[in-house]
Amino acid sequence: MPTNFKSNMVLLFVLSITFLIIACNNASEKKAETNDTTVTNSGQLNQPTALASGKLDTLVIDSASFVKLPDTTKVVFVFTFKPNDTLTLDGWTAKQDTIFTTDPDIELIKYAPSTLSYGNGIYFGNVILKKREVKKIKNMLNNQQAHSVLFAPQLVNGKHIGYEIFLSLEHLPAERLKNAIATQTFANPSPPKNY
């Protein structure tokens, strides 16, 4: 009987050690599975390093899609990430200035890299195209018989991203859009509402 008791104690000891090892391995695997984005002890969010800096793209949309926008409303553009690490803008028209639909009314696509870089200290906020600018661009599209609308990034007040609007006589997709026509129109960041 004492031998049976000793063998049961040894078996119980081995099983306890085995369960302890398995539990420790599971805990270390869960810790290794953390995302690139973590919260520090101070409560700040550490951003993935891939998004810390880069170059903004000139964005484009065909004139037919732009002309569908209503004349009587502003367009609020929001930065959005698309496949292949593309940072672009989607836009919503505001009914009664504050009521928006769920899906965007306009989606800009990447055309070409610009020379404008972003990094620390640059604000990514909504970009606003006022209703008088929408109407002006639509009139110019008709008068110039342009086929594409270009959004060229620029810095406003050295910290905020806005876009200067150009027209092109080329159809999309074009390998090289040429004959860009300045509209003297800007999609401004909000804030600082520098119109």
Domain spans in the chain, listed from the N-terminal domain onward: 2-33, 49-190
- What sections of 131-193 are H helices per DSSP? 131-144
Residue 88 main-chain phi, psi, to 5 deg: -140, -170
pLDDT in tens, 110-146: 988 899 999 888 998 999 999 899 999 999 998 888 8
Q: Which residue in 156, 154, 143, 146 sits closest to 178, CA to CA?
A: 146
* Averaged pLDDT for residues 70-80: 89
Query: How far is it, in rounded angstroms, from Cα 60 to Cα 170?
Result: 11
Using DSSP's 3-state secondary structure scheme, residue 132 falls into helix
Of residues 189 and 175, the one with the higher pLDDT is 189
Q: Which residue in 146, 111, 134, 123 sits closest to 185, CA to CA?
A: 134
Which CATH number is 49-190 given?
3.10.150
What are the tokens at 172? 């999309």
Using DSSP's 3-state secondary structure scheme, residue 113 falls into strand
Whether 108 shows a pLDDT value over 50: the answer reads yes
Query: How far is it, in rounded angstroms, from Cα 172 to Cα 188?
Result: 25
Q: How confident is the model at residue 11 (pLDDT cuts 50, 70, 90)?
A: low
β-pair partners for 149: 61, 167
Whether 164 shows a pLDDT value over 70: the answer reads yes
